[in-house]
Amino acid sequence: MVSSIIRTSGIAEGSASEVEGLGKGIESSFALNLIPLPANPLFGTDGIRGRVGELLSAPLALQVGFWTGIVLRNHATQVGPVILGQDSRNSSDMLAMALSAGLTAAGLEVWYLGLCPTPGVAYLTSISEAIGGVMISASHNPPEDNGIKIFNADGGKLPQILQAEIEAGMRGKISPITRVSNCGRHYSRLELVGDYSSALKKPLNSSLNLQGMKIVLDLAWGAAVGLAPSVFTEMGAEVICLHNEPDGDRINVNCGSTYLDILAATVQEHNADIGFAFDGDADRVLGVDNTGRQVNGDYILYLWGRHLQQKQQLPNNLIVSTVMANLGFEKAWQQQGGNLIRTAVGDQYVQAEMLRTGAMLGGEQSGHILCRHYAVTGDGLLTALHIAALVKEAGVSLAELVDQSFQTYPQLLRNVRVIDRDRRLGWQDCQPLQQAIALAEAAMGDSGRILVRASGTEPVIRVMVEAANAELTNYWTNELVSQVQQHIAV
């Protein structure tokens, strides 16, 4: 049983004995024995992410689990389980078990999926009685990093206001509204991943299959290694797999969605129809056409958007993307009668704008693609299946579809490492950089774009320049990167 004590401004509204007993409850060992935390906010654009052993540790995960449990319970209409999944990183087992300990200490039931793509956690959370979900992964980051992503009961990213509540509890700024007088339970529910697999295939089973297609999958030694090959095979495709074992030492290393060279070479070597590369938790995907040419998220959005547009399944012909979307994509989509809305970088911003506008398709150039006809969050496997089916239905190669779509403006993205967080986040105060940006924008006019931003997931400033020709792109990229190096990364 759970007894509740409602707190207002730190004062319990209950009997004197209840108030005296607060320090003796389970919550005291977590909420009061605080661990050292960095001064900057824990939650970034995609949950909590950092180097294991520095920011991320078992004690931190324990606190995150406990306070996540408290916050989810406080905002739930009725208590239910929390679904927990992980990728293949060496640290993921440790963090998952620590999180489960914290969640059960908050009196909640944990359904543990084991190795599972991030969108699988989101989907299973959305269709069950779960009050939230947690995924242990650092997505496309290197093996030494890890992260904690939290979902609400609908399968969407946990709102920032609730993230702030979790962090406030961890910093000792609030006390639990609910006093936990019993512990929850941890259950292994690996079979639920099969329900996610069925959901991926269901929208396509009745219309067409992938028979006759040869598809190469780069699984990045990550979360999709056990699921993706079987899903594509069951849909009728001949599948060739790369990096298809769970390997915490090599996840994302020279493979997956951040490194397409091996995938491109394999597609050409085997004369395959298409190749797909996933990141470590399979919430993003990039493609390679039958000639070995890379197909990024802009092309995926254009091709899928046109497909939905022709079927009259794209309200207002609207696609939501980010400030990174290529000008060539935007102009070509507008010529098709389409509308494009740009958001800040981050799939959570894309998703929020889609919900605000009623858009059904959105995503990022980096391969986070969300189609609300079929999913509640970005899903690499689902996107790959639908793009493969789209190619099969078109009856022409992916290369031909890309050729018929648009030409990208030359675009360069350079990352400049800036360890000092204050200097990194305060880049807009650097006058020499601002002057260089203004000069570049004046020189390029309507034929180019500049985007400078501090990364929300890595200690870098990203400099992106897009122009009508490669010479201008190279010149202004080098100029702006030089300004960042001279005046910020010191």
Q: Report which of residues 40 and 28 the model is more confident about.
A: 40
Please name the residues in contact with 426: beta carbons below 8 A apart, sequence gap of 6 or more: none
Q: How do residues 168-215 score in pLDDT, each as one tens digit?
A: 999 999 876 666 778 899 999 999 999 999 999 998 876 678 999 999
Which pLDDT does position 5 carry in this prediction?
Answer: 23
Both tokens of 279, joined, read 């990141």
Say if CB 44 and CB 456 are below 8 A apart.
yes
Helical residues (DSSP H) of 154-280, grouped into ranges = 160-170, 192-205, 228-234, 261-269
Does residue 24 carry a pLDDT above 70?
no
Q: What percent of the chain has pLDDT over 70?
A: 92
Does residue 244 carry a pLDDT above 60?
yes
Closest CA to 359 of 345, 344, 346, 373: 373
Does residue 359 carry a pLDDT above 80?
yes
End-to-end CA distance of the chain: 57
CB atoms within 10 A of CB 422: 9
Which pLDDT does position 10 carry in this prediction?
Answer: 29
Per-residue exposure over 197-219, b if at least 16 CB sit within 10 Å of its own CB, e if not: bebbbebbeeeeebeebbbbbbb
Q: How do residues 30-65 score in pLDDT, each as one tens digit?
A: 544 678 899 889 998 889 999 999 989 999 999 999
Both tokens of 380, joined, read 């690499």
Most confident region among 3-12, 308-317, 450-459 by mean pLDDT: 308-317
Provide, for the chain, the percentages of residues in helix, strand and coil under a 3-state DSSP scheme, each rounded to the nearest 5. 40, 20, 40
**Whole-number average pLDDT of the chain:** 90
Amino acid at 351: Q
Which pLDDT does position 234 carry in this prediction?
Answer: 95
Q: Which of 23-37, 139-153, 248-262, 330-344 has the lowest mean pLDDT?
A: 23-37
Mean pLDDT of 118-131: 98
Q: How confident is the model at residue 29 (pLDDT cuts 50, 70, 90)?
A: very low
Does residue 271 carry a pLDDT above 80?
yes
Please name the residues in contact with 412: beta carbons below 8 A apart, sequence gap of 6 or more: 464, 465, 466, 473, 474, 477
Q: How do residues 275-291 score in pLDDT, each as one tens digit?
A: 999 999 999 999 999 99
Q: Which of 20-24, 36-40, 264-268 has the lowest mean pLDDT?
A: 20-24
Both tokens of 304, joined, read 């899928």
Which pLDDT does position 206 carry in this prediction?
Answer: 67
Please name the residues in contact with 95: beta carbons below 8 A apart, sequence gap of 6 or more: 52, 56, 58, 61, 86, 136, 146, 148
Please name the residues in contact with 44: beta carbons below 8 A apart, sequence gap of 6 or more: 456, 457
Q: Residue 128 catalytic?
A: no
Mean pLDDT of 133-139: 97
CA dihedral 241, 246, 252, 255 (to 10 degrees): -20
Q: How confident is the model at residue 262 (pLDDT cuts 50, 70, 90)?
A: very high
Residue matched to tokens 């079979």: 191
**Among residues 139, 197, 321, 366, which one is catalytic?**
139
